Each structure stands twice: as C-alpha cells, then as structure tokens.
A and B are shown apart, each in its own frame.
Chain A
Amino acid sequence: MKGAKLVGIAEFAVTRAPEQLCCIGLGSCVAVFIYDPEARIGGVLHALLPRAPDGQKSDARYTDSGIRMLHSEIMSKGANGRKLWAKLVGGARMFPDLDVKLRDIGGENVRQARKTLRELGVRIVAEEVEGDKGRSAYYSLEDGKVTLKTAFSEAKEI
C-alpha cells in the first residue's frame, strides 16, 4: 500500500481521511487502532511493552500510557469520544520455545490494551491477535479498515 505513513515501535500517529498509516512486522508488539467513523479521524499506537513503570505517563513504548496518549491526541483533534472504536492487531508469541522472561509479552500487551481501552470507554470492534505469526497492518482513515498481511497467507481485512 503506497503512501501509507510508517508508525514504528514506540510511536503513535493521528491523522484523518484520506490518509493511511501502517505498522510493519508486528510480532509481540501490539498495534492499537482507534477511529471516529463520523469525523473520520483516527490514529494508531505501536507499543512494545504492556505497562509503564510508575511515573512514566507519556511514553509510547508502553501499551497503557501509549493508548492514553493516542486517545487524548485523537480527542484534541475533534473526535467524539462516544463514537470511537478500536481494533487490536499483534501480540504474537514469536519464540514459543524460548525459555526466558517476557516470552508471552505479546499476550500481556493484548490484555493490557483491552483493559486500558475499557477504562477509556472505547469499545473493541475487531481483533487479530496472539498466535505465533508476525503481521503487517495497513490502516485507511477513509473508512477505518485495517488490511493485514503475514508472510504466510493472503491479505485479510478487519
């Protein structure tokens, strides 16, 4: 998908129709897409770890603080909080056999994203999460659709 702006790890971006955003090679990272279908404003967070250590309220590396940063940026651009929905992508378990801490960091990222979105009152309308395969996600602010690609299967839309 040409022209989509890349959102890397520990970054978030907010924009409006007809722009496109993308996250390439999501493994255990989680991508949180938020959209207001009426204002056609939205954004995505590409988070690495579930929870920020105490006191770090503005760090997009973390799912919890990152979602709050993304949400507040979208609201400041004129979105209606009651109209917002979210989609979750990623959180895979990339090295199932690896015997080190953080091996299920993907699952923790997904659980944290659900929790923080619930606290903000943003409903989740679609998920493509966990498993053991990496994903790339292309997000159209035209209609809020997220197109998913893996190394192993046909593209799919959520």
Chain B
Amino acid sequence: MDDSNTETILGIIREFANVGAGNAATALASLLDMELVNEVTSCEIMPLSRIGEWLGGNDKVVAGTYTQLCGDLRSGVLVVFPRESAATIVEHLAGEGTDLVDLSPIQVSALCEVGNICLCWYLVAVSRMIDTDLIPAPPGAAVDLLGAVLDIPLAALGGSVDAVIAVHTVFKGVERSFEGYFLLLPEDLMLKTILDKVGDTLK
C-alpha cells in the first residue's frame, strides 16, 4: 500500500468505525439512560507491538473485554476503557464515585457487560463493511494493567496478526463523557477480506 492509498482505505474504515461507534453510543445511551453523542477521534492501522504505547502505556490500569471470532475469518476483538472512563461508567451505573482498583465483583461484571455491548455493536459495523456474518465467542473481561490485558491477544494471535485496526471514540453526555478503544486484530484472511471489500468500494 502506498501512502495515499492507505489514507483512502483508512478514510473508508473510519466511516464504518463511525457507524460502529454510533451503534455503540445508541446502545450505551439506552443502557446508561443518558444522552450520548459520539466522535471517532482517530482510526489507525498499526503493528500489534505498538498497541500498548498507543493506549497510553502498559502500566496503565484499564478495563478490557476480549473475544475471538468463530469460523474462517479468525480475529481478536478487544474493547478497552481507560481508568477514568471506566470509573465514570461505573459511577453512572452505581450512583457513587469509585476507583477502578476498588470495584466490587458486580461492578466489574457491569463494566464488562458495557464493554461487551460496545464490542458487539462495533462488530455489526465490521460485518456490514465486509458483508459477512461474524460470530464472536463468549467474551472474557479483566480490569488490570494494560500490558497484562494485552498478553492474551498477543499470545493467541501474535504469530498470525501483523496489523491492528484501532479506533478511538469519545462518547459525550451532558454531564459525563468517557472514551473507549475498539481494536480489531485480524488474521491474514480477515485483513485481506476487509481490504478487498474496501477496495471494491473504491472502484
């Protein structure tokens, strides 16, 4: 890919990222009972090894929800909420302030469900983009150091995934805002399918 081509492809992926973020915002607005507007602030394709740095450093505490797709188009899918954003979500759900390292199991579970809802709605957008059904396995979730959260995707897919599609979204409410990251870790066939479909769109 040359640079101008990459820019065009990223532009198209960004449009779908916007759709995914819009889906997620609608679902979250309903779940959290608050009005939300969303803005995709950045959308990039980067090597797996750069993700930790892009998300702010491996020593940061985050809430992560991870799953892999079943079927031929193997991919990892990870949604990450940074510490303050995750705390904002829990505060809104629980009605009281808290820190991410002091969550009760039920609060962790609620946070994971929020991550799962986002993950699924972004996936719907990806599924439409490539016109293929995508079926995620039941997700797992963790509140922990970012580096630790990234170990499983790296271990499961590090040998077969070169590029990650990374989307940063800000969800803005009237009183509260939070941000989230959606990461798609496509194996070769999945990445090729995405780029081919995007290429068709260009023609």
In this complex, what residue of B is CB-closest to A23? B147
Decide if B156 is an interface residue (CB 8 Å cutoff).
Answer: yes
Main secondary structure of the interface of B (DSSP, over half): mixed
Decide if A101 is an interface residue (CB 8 Å cutoff).
Answer: yes
Question: In the complex, what residues of A have CB within 8 A of residue B58's CB?
Answer: 24-25
Q: Are A94 and B148 in contact (CB-based, < 8 A)? A: yes
Query: In the bound complex, how far is the Cα of B139 from the Cα of A137, in angstroms?
Result: 28
Q: Are A134 and B101 in contact (CB-based, < 8 A)? A: no
Give the most central of B66, B67, B142, B151: most A CB within 10 Å: B151
Decide if A105 is an interface residue (CB 8 Å cutoff).
Answer: yes
Binds B, one of A26-34, A76-84, A113-121: A26-34
Query: In the bound complex, how far is the Cα of B162 from the Cα of A65, in angstroms?
Result: 23
Question: In the complex, what residues of B have CB within 8 A of residue A28's CB?
Answer: 148, 151-152, 155
In this complex, what residue of A is CB-closest to B156? A102
Decide if A103 is an interface residue (CB 8 Å cutoff).
Answer: yes
Decide if B91 is an interface residue (CB 8 Å cutoff).
Answer: no
Q: Are A97 and B144 in contact (CB-based, < 8 A)? A: no
Question: In the complex, what residues of B have CB within 8 A of residue A61's CB?
Answer: 158
Q: Are B101 and A95 in contact (CB-based, < 8 A)? A: no
**A25-B150, A152-B101 are known contacts. Are A101 and B145 too (CB-CB below 8 A)?**
no
In this complex, what residue of A is CB-closest to B61? A151
The one of B52, B139, B154 that contacts A98, using a Cβ cutoff of 8 Å: B139
Decide if B95 is an interface residue (CB 8 Å cutoff).
Answer: no
Question: In the complex, what residues of B have CB within 8 A of residue A49's CB?
Answer: 155, 158
Instruction: Write the nearest CB–CB distance from B79 to chain A, whole angstroms.
Output: 13
Instruction: Write the nearest CB–CB distance from B190 to chain A, whole angstroms.
Output: 15
Instruction: Write the nearest CB–CB distance from A23 to chain B, whole angstroms.
Output: 8
Decide if B31 is an interface residue (CB 8 Å cutoff).
Answer: no
Q: Are A102 and B148 in contact (CB-based, < 8 A)? A: no
Question: In the complex, what residues of A have CB within 8 A of residue B148's CB?
Answer: 25-28, 92, 94, 133-135
Question: In the complex, what residues of A have CB within 8 A of residue B61's CB?
Answer: 151
Instruction: Write the nearest CB–CB distance from A93 to chain B, whole angstroms.
Output: 9
Query: Could you list 27 examples of A-B contacts with CB < 8 Å?
Result: A9-B49, A27-B145, A27-B149, A28-B151, A29-B151, A48-B151, A48-B154, A92-B148, A94-B148, A95-B142, A95-B152, A97-B139, A98-B67, A99-B137, A100-B68, A101-B156, A102-B152, A103-B140, A103-B152, A105-B152, A105-B155, A106-B151, A133-B148, A134-B148, A134-B149, A151-B100, A151-B144
Pairs A-B, 10 closest by C-beta atoms: A25-B147, A134-B148, A95-B140, A98-B140, A27-B148, A27-B151, A25-B58, A25-B145, A134-B145, A134-B144
